[in-house]
Amino acid sequence: MTSELARAGGVIGASGLAVLLVAPSRLQRLVALGAWALGALLLALYLAPDGHRPLLAGAALVGLLLAAAGGYVFRRWPYVLPFAGLACVAARIHVTVGATEANLLVPMYAVVAAAALQLAWELRRRARKTRSVELGPVAWPLAGFVAWSGLSLLWTDDLRQGSIDLLFFYLPFGLLALALARLPWRRRWLLILLGQLAAMAVVFAAIGIYQYETRNIFWNPKVEIGNAYAPFYRVNSVFWDPSIYGRFLVVAILACLVVVLFARDRRLLAGGAAVIAFTWVGLYFSYSQSSFAALVAGVVLAAIFAWGRRGLALALVAAVVVCLGALAIPNVRDDLFGNGRGLNSSTGGRGKLVRKGTEIAVHHPVVGVGIGGFKRAYADLTNLKGSEPRAAASHTTPVTVAAETGLPGLLLYGWLLASALLLAFRRFARDHQGLAALAFGIIIAAVAVHSLFYNAFFEDPTVWAAFGLAAVAARQPLPRNRDEAADASQLDREVEAEREQHQRVDGAQSDRAAERDVERLPEHR
């Protein structure tokens, strides 16, 4: 009975989120938000372990009260939302309930719950129709992908994993993207958000360097075991996995790189360069191949936008030099061409996962095996034993999407990625809005490259947040001409300085006028 409710909850919740992303009517959106909440509740009831539901119900009540307080804060000060979300990116808490253990972004879910209550309040009080869809061209492919993924829960062979994917990733992060996209543009808050991202990256990198020097790994005993047999020592900082740690540092490096390439303020340039240099050291000790691949892709994109064809030529030359240097190393040549192991060995067995995952997609081309069903389908195909075969875990997001949701899901994923990149890069200009859009587009592209080797594109709240914030920047009109775009930052500084000067002059004039009024009083004659 609970399993059937979970399947219904997945469809209801995903459909509610899809309608919420694209519907123009206030009533439609209120109903869709209720469906989103109902679907999440049904999935939570299914995943809750037996014997602990009263405890979980009490915790949910406390969480709802805290979410109500957070919703009030977001209503009064909307820009607290992106700062709170960014602060919770690394806050995974190890939760043990009965025989179930998981590392969950519990603070992030509290932020999403508060954002949902704030959204309900806004929809209840505002006009009947919205002027436009907040996420722009991203809204329809995202809505289609979420709805199709939720529908695939009806035929998945791994209902538990599919429910986890929907409840802990798709539903909360989709609403987070919408809530962020509803924010109005404010340059000052975006600069502060960049400062928060850079500061967090520096702190996390410092912790990673400390771990490398002391050989002291936090949280994850699997990393310690891996280090005991590996020729290098990997660190994870405050994150559970070194690849997740590396991905966060890559996001911070690329955001600072946009500042370094386009900023005219020497202080910003020097600060961004310092953050990049220090954070790169922390990234190096993660030894995350996927993170370095994402960094290379992001740097190439940034160079193309900064220098055009010269940037592309420079990137190609650098790629050739790196490849030739790698081939000069005997171990690399042996992994690639020797002993019959090829790319499968050099990529840690991912080549076999991609081949078998492609076979699953070919065998189920129309509807796939259902969301969350990749591991079970892979185990059945390769005759792996056990209820949770670790060797069957997917490492490539496009292959996972194709295997679990079939050709329709793969097409929707491609449409979503193309729409998000087009939304961000089309707004590129040398003003603050254009540079912000460029940074978010590069971040989305880098995480997409990272997900080719580490299946976590939709599991990463950063990419959902980038969807929303890129839409905020893209809504701003383009500068009228190139000179205006090139001088936008300087003009903004001059306007700010002039405004401050006028405020000081007005304040001084007001003080003098007040003194004259006091002198005119009879007791001062």
Write down the pLDDT at residue 205: 96
Instruction: Give the separation between CA 367 and CA 359, rounded to whole angstroms.
Output: 14
Instruction: Give the separation between CA 205 and CA 238, rounded to whole angstroms.
Output: 10
Give CA separation, 422 vs 136, 143, 285, 413, in Å: 11, 17, 34, 14
Neighbours of 280 (CB within 10 A): 14
Instruction: Give the separation between CA 278 and CA 317, rounded to whole angstroms.
Output: 26
Neighbours of 22 (CB within 10 A): 18
Report pLDDT digits (tens) over 302-311: 999 988 878 7
Q: Any residues with CB less than 8 A from the CB of 278 and at least 6 apart, and which?
A: 202, 205, 206
Burial of 196 (0-12, 13-18, 19+ CB in 10 A): middle
Report pLDDT digits (tens) over 189-242: 999 999 999 999 999 999 999 999 998 888 788 888 888 888 888 999 989 889
Write down the pLDDT at residue 194: 94
Burial of 381 (0-12, 13-18, 19+ CB in 10 A): middle
For the chain, give every domain's residue range. 2-139, 187-483, 487-524
Q: What's the per-residue H, E or C state across 23-35?
A: CCEHHHHHHHHHH
User: What residues of the chain score a pLDDT lower than 50?
Assistant: 98, 128, 340, 343, 345-346, 483-499, 502-503, 505-506, 514, 517-525
Helices (H), 364-460: 374-382, 397-426, 432-450
Write down the pLDDT at residue 349: 54
Residue 17 CA to its chain's centroid (Å): 18
Q: Any residues with CB less than 8 A from the CB of 163 and at least 6 apart, and which?
A: 6, 9, 10, 43, 46, 47, 153, 372
Instruction: Give the separation between CA 260 and CA 258, rounded to whole angstroms.
Output: 5
Q: Are 49 and 98 in contact (CB under 8 A)?
A: yes
| Residue positions counted in the chain | 525
Give CA separation, 477 vs 53, 184, 480, in Å: 51, 13, 9
Beta strands 100-104 and 93-97 are antiparallel
Burial of 205 (0-12, 13-18, 19+ CB in 10 A): buried
Q: Any residues with CB less than 8 A from the CB of 190 and at least 6 apart, and which?
A: 432, 436, 469
